[in-house]
Structure 1
Amino acid sequence: MMEPADRSEIQEHYAAVSSGSGWLYLLAGLGLFNLIIRALRMDFVLIAIQFTESLTYAATLPRFAGYRIALFVISLVIIGLFALFGYFARRRHRWAFVAGMVLYGLDTMLLLSYFAAGFDIGLTIYTLFHLFGLYKIFQGTVACWALARIDREDRLLEQSLARGRARVKQTMAEYDPFDDYPTPRA
């Protein structure tokens, strides 16, 4: 059995979970901001989710005019997924961290595919942002698993203590202080 976690270690894990889930919220917020900017046909973008960036950019092109609403709805669904994963990750659901990391990893792979067209410093900055975001989400994932392990160990310890208390209580109930010669138990 491992040594019990101290309070500062647990606080660090909670901070990492909060940071990792915060990144999922941040990505959803930036994605929504970019979606609104694209819908208003402004030419300003923040680093966020490449899936939604590609879809909303395609929606502004004349040849995709018939699909504009569908492309914006798909973008909103992707943004909603990031927000949903952030919500559940903040509540320490491990699957939400894993799903958010997989989705953002796929988004990063889409971004990396643009390097096939050539090197671009802006693309490099986007990629570094994506990699840093993935790293922070990964830290949150690891911390979430560590907190689950600590919770499991605490539950096992509580169960063990409860069994011990029950045995002591049973022994005390059977004890008769006035019985000088207790009968042997079978």
Structure 2
Amino acid sequence: MESTYTILGADGLQYGPINLNQLKIWISEGRITPTTQVLRSDVNAWHPAAQYTELELAGAAISPVFVSNSGASVITPAIASAAPPSNPALEKQMKSGADWFFWIAGLSLINTGVAVFGGGFRFFLGLGMSLAIDETAKVSGSTVGTVVGLILNLIVVGLFIFFGIFARKRHAWSFITGLVLYSLDSVLVLMFAFRFGVSFLAVAFHGYALFCIFRGLKAANELNAVETQANATTPHVRF
């Protein structure tokens, strides 16, 4: 008479009895590991699957054993998910691109402070939007206009800080949205270069920042693709 097998799952429930062919199918699906507790009909005792030579699991990797609250050992039949391979160079490139949002926000805030207190210089990487707001507040010549301009600048600065935070978490939408807005801002800076005598170096720095942010987006996409592929190749266990 053909032997049958009963399996003890990680949830503490028994599965089976099943025949050898069905058991090998579960093994191929990753539902059975060498330490999974198996009861064969002609043995009358629970043993790790690796002890049954017909299962050919003796040389396979061992899954961890966890202890339940009741004190009983529970053998997990799941195969641990492999961590996606790390790429320090891509991680550095991605974070470097994301950090440009923080530089843009910080220098724009300084430019606004300088404008409020009547200073005569600006940082090249500052936002053209901030310059437009500052010039409008200056033309108004009122305290209310200055306060409103400061609030609007804080909102714009906060938006770019927001982009930087999520770009560092590898969110492609954050990179893309920031790139689009900063590209439009570069056009604004170019217009100011003709109309208000803003240095063309500001336009050049905007272009370099856009290039670095784009490289960060590219690195984030590559890292996300590797992680997605690693997750796709991880067996899914249904016990």
Aligned residue for 1:154? 230
Normalising by structure 2, we get a TM-score of: 0.59
Q: Does 1:33 align with 2:88?
A: no
Q: Does 1:83 align with 2:161?
A: yes
1:41–1:60 contact (8 Å) kept in structure 2: no
Aligned residue for 1:93? 171
The counterpart of 2:199, out of the listed 123, 135, 138, is 123
Relative to total residues, which structure has the larger helix share, 1 or 2?
Answer: 1
Distance, in Å, in 2 between the alignment partners of 1:126 and 1:38 is 17
- How big is the shift at 1:66? 4.5
**Deviations for 1:48-80, whole angstroms, at most 9, x for unmatched residues?**
111102211321234565422222211111111
Normalising by structure 1, we get a TM-score of: 0.74
Structural RMSD (CA): 2.4
Relative to total residues, which structure has the larger strand share, 1 or 2?
Answer: 2
Aligned residue for 2:38? none
1:58–1:64 contact (8 Å) kept in structure 2: no
The counterpart of 2:149, out of the listed 57, 67, 71, is 71
Alignment-mate amino acid for residue 132 of structure 1: Y
Higher-Rg structure is: 2
**Deviations for 1:119-141, whole angstroms, at most 9, x for unmatched residues?**
x6x52211110000000000011
3-state secondary structure, aligned to 2:122: coil
- How big is the shift at 1:116? 4.7
The counterpart of 2:91, out of the listed 6, 10, 14, is 14
Pick closer, same or farther for the CA change 1:54–1:138 going to 2, 3 Å.
Answer: same
Aligned residue for 2:191? 113
- How big is the shift at 1:42? 1.4
The higher-RCO structure (CA 8 Å, 6+ apart) is 1
Aligned residue for 1:135? 211
Question: Which sections of structure 1, spanning at least 5 residues, go unmatched?
Answer: 171-186
Question: Which sections of structure 2, spanning at least 5 residues, go unmatched?
Answer: 1-83
Q: Which moved more, 1:50-59 or 1:25-34?
A: 50-59
1:59–1:68 contact (8 Å) kept in structure 2: yes
- How big is the shift at 1:149? 0.5
Q: Does 1:102 align with 2:180?
A: yes
Distance, in Å, in 2 between the alignment partners of 1:6 and 1:96 is 24
Pick closer, same or farther for the CA change 1:6–1:148 going to 2, 3 Å.
Answer: closer
Distance, in Å, in 2 between the alignment partners of 1:116 and 1:80 is 28
Distance, in Å, in 2 between the alignment partners of 1:83 and 1:90 is 11
1:17–1:143 contact (8 Å) kept in structure 2: yes
2:128–2:188 contact (8 Å) kept in structure 1: yes
3-state secondary structure, aligned to 1:92: coil
